[in-house]
Structure 1
């Protein structure tokens, strides 16, 4: 019913040196991802620096990506926040033509209880005309969606179809996988853990590294979905070391540095993010040269 197995890419937003959106680079990146075998595109997630985009930029970049995509792949749009009413209002006023699902991060900073998280997503579910992918990333939100809450939401709301799990806790992920409804998808949010995650029954990844290496990373998830863990293991370890360096100086600074090396986009980010350090850059250059 939903085409969110395999490799989704949390697409970066390219900027020019003056920090304006670089639409030529964005078009090049979208086509690069599609031509190299990814399964869907996630727009305006953390990796897309959505929190530093204006409302106008969000509307314009979404419309542009939908136009370039031209129906080739499903599009997932990030709409989340720590004010439930604002998320609900945004869902109601946003033109979602061409969008196939919503990725909605658990409320950050407020540190709600599990009941608060449940009630937040209940309101989001009731406001959304599209399927919803929950997003659990405790390292950014300072609260964890516990398996019991994920399973409660999965069972209570038919349009809550998946969770992007970036807790880094495989035991938590396995608890969800073991007890989830049949069609509910459990998607990795940690590039370094995709292989063990999928071996436990996960459905794929929403990836950062696949911005730069879409074919190799997509081939890994496809191999794992097909039960070819020998090939999947080889591809996992091919990407394993560089994944670490992508995040040393923050995301998406690392992957943008690699994309610049590949002559796809520039490496500019918006404050408070900054470009990677010289030491990280040297490590990324070395590892990128080995990926070819």
Structure 2
């Protein structure tokens, strides 16, 4: 259902508020440069610091501006199951095409708790679901057996997994246990290695800044042209690393502010603007990749 370069969109702020005009321009630029789907209100979108009204508005603006040109996968997860269900329903009203549901954070549910949480949402939400496993942020880890069980219980509803566990063995396990599940990377530096194993794309931070290069890389990898894919991967690799030279998404927003005068580098506490060292890492990586607006 999903493949290729899928940016987890940064949410532009100006004067401490959501900059809707900048977001619309950003979405058009992403689509024009080959992004195959869009994720509003993911981690890179600073969903943790959006209030509920802003969260739902960001999704609505994304869906409206995309206007069916590419799918919109709305971040709708929560560590409270009822709040997640509310976000799911609001995302559908807003015009999203699918839901990105992160593992519940802080609570540290068991695997049985994860099965119950995602089953509850799958039974009540109408849109297709992309599971999001990022144990480095949530502590909770959706293990392969749980992913496989969920895919088996809800075929056609739980359709994909964004995996940022860093464990590529899981791609094989999950492909063998749930061959219909669409597997996406959540870790830009590991994408090339994931393609031969069965991943088909990435929900990306770097694609915020270099959507055209990322789209070209994914097209090469998907076609089996790994010589070209390796060349592009090496061109992008310093940028992948620079996106985490400071707390994300500060480096991505700094990079975008260099590309566009209409995209401010503003972030919300507890994220702070890039350090000078991080700015230099981003500057050098952008120069190396030849990234321009």
Normalised TM-score (structure 1): 0.95
Of the candidates 231, 234, 237, which is equivalent to residue 234 of structure 2? 237
Partners of 1:91 and 1:127 within 8 A in 2: no
Aligned-residue RMSD, C-alpha: 1.3
Is there any run of 5+ residues in structure 2 with no aligned partner, and where? Answer: none
* Alignment size in residue pairs: 288
Q: Verify: 1:208 aligned to 2:205, yes or no.
A: yes
Q: Match for residue 55 of structure 1?
A: 52
Is there any run of 5+ residues in structure 1 with no aligned partner, and where? Answer: none
Partners of 1:36 and 1:214 within 8 A in 2: yes
Give, in angstroms, the shift of residue 179 of structure 1: 2.5
**Take 2:275 and 2:22, find their aligned partners in 1: how far apart are those partners?**
23
Normalised TM-score (structure 2): 0.95
Of the candidates 188, 193, 197, which is equivalent to residue 194 of structure 2? 197
Partners of 2:115 and 2:150 within 8 A in 1: yes
User: What whole-Å deviation, never above 9, does each CA across 1:181-238 have from its counterpart, x for those lacking one?
Assistant: 3x21010000110000112111110111001100101111111111111111111111
**Take 1:92 and 1:71, find their aligned partners in 2: how far apart are those partners?**
19
Q: Match for residue 272 of structure 2?
A: 274
**Take 2:92 and 2:193, find their aligned partners in 1: how far apart are those partners?**
37
Partners of 2:59 and 2:94 within 8 A in 1: no
Query: Secondary structure in 2 aligned to 1:41?
Result: coil
1:111-126 alignment, distance < 5 Å: 111-126=108-123
**Take 1:258 and 1:89, find their aligned partners in 2: how far apart are those partners?**
33
User: What whole-Å deviation, never above 9, does each CA across 1:115-136 have from its counterpart, x for those lacking one?
Assistant: 1111110001011101000000
Q: Verify: 1:136 aligned to 2:172, yes or no.
A: no
**Take 1:171 and 1:94, find their aligned partners in 2: how far apart are those partners?**
33
Q: Match for residue 6 of structure 1?
A: 4
**Take 1:64 and 1:46, find their aligned partners in 2: how far apart are those partners?**
18
Cα distance change, pair 226–283 in 1 and its aligned pair in 2 (3 A): same
Q: Match for residue 45 of structure 1?
A: 42
Cα distance change, pair 259–113 in 1 and its aligned pair in 2 (3 A): same
Partners of 2:13 and 2:19 within 8 A in 1: yes
**Take 2:162 and 2:23, find their aligned partners in 1: how far apart are those partners?**
24
Query: Secondary structure in 1 aligned to 2:70?
Result: coil
Partners of 2:7 and 2:207 within 8 A in 1: yes
**Take 2:189 and 2:42, find their aligned partners in 1: how far apart are those partners?**
18
**Take 2:161 and 2:151, find their aligned partners in 1: how far apart are those partners?**
9
Give, in angstroms, the shift of residue 97 of structure 1: 4.4
**Take 1:97 and 1:281, find their aligned partners in 2: how far apart are those partners?**
36
Q: Match for residue 103 of structure 1?
A: 100
User: What whole-Å deviation, never above 9, does each CA across 1:235-267 have from its counterpart, x for those lacking one?
Assistant: 111111121121121111111111111116111
Q: Match for residue 87 of structure 2?
A: 90
Q: Match for residue 146 of structure 1?
A: 143
Partners of 2:76 and 2:91 within 8 A in 1: no
Give, in angstroms, the shift of residue 23 of structure 1: 1.7
**Take 2:285 and 2:123, find their aligned partners in 1: how far apart are those partners?**
46
Give, in angstroms, the shift of residue 98 of structure 1: 2.1
Task: Show structure 1 runs of 4+ deviating over 6 A.
Answer: none
Give, in angstroms, the shift of residue 173 of structure 1: 2.4
